[in-house]
Amino acid sequence: MRRDVSHVGKTLSTVGDFVAEKFVKTKRGELMKFGTFLDIEGKFFDTVHFPPSLVQYPLRGAGIYLIEGKVVQEFGCPSLEVIRCAKMPLKPDPRSI
C-alpha cells in the first residue's frame, strides 16, 4: 500500500501478510480490531476493522489476506479502513504430501 497522501479517501485493494492484531471495544461495547500487515515490498501497513466488517469478514490468524478498504489518515499515520477481507488459500507443501 502506498503511503503518500494522494491516496487518502480512495478505496483500494491490497495483499498483506498478517503480523499482529489488537482487540478493542467501541463506546457501545462492540468488538473491533486493529491489524498490522506486511505488504509485498516488506513494508508494514495498518488496518482498522470496525464491528460490521469484522463480524462479516473476521481475521483468521496467520496467513496472506486480500484486503479492500478506504485509505484514511489520523494523527499523520495512514491506515486502511477495511470494507472486506479474506484469507487467501495457500498451496500445500509438496514435501509433506
User: Does 62 reside within a domain?
Assistant: yes
Q: What's the CATH code of the domain at 27?
A: 2.40.50.140
Q: What residues make up the domain containing 43?
A: 5-88
**10-residue averages of pLDDT along the chain (97 residues):** 67 94 94 95 94 93 94 87 94 82
The Cα–Cα gap between 9 and 79 comes to: 11
Kindly list the distances between the CA atom of residue 21 and the CA atoms of 6, 67, 68, in Å, as whole numbers in the listed order. Answer: 26, 15, 17
User: Does 97 reside within a domain?
Assistant: no
Tell me what pLDDT residue 4 has.
57
13 DSSP β-pair partners: 68
The Cα–Cα gap between 48 and 22 comes to: 10
**pTM for this structure?**
0.83
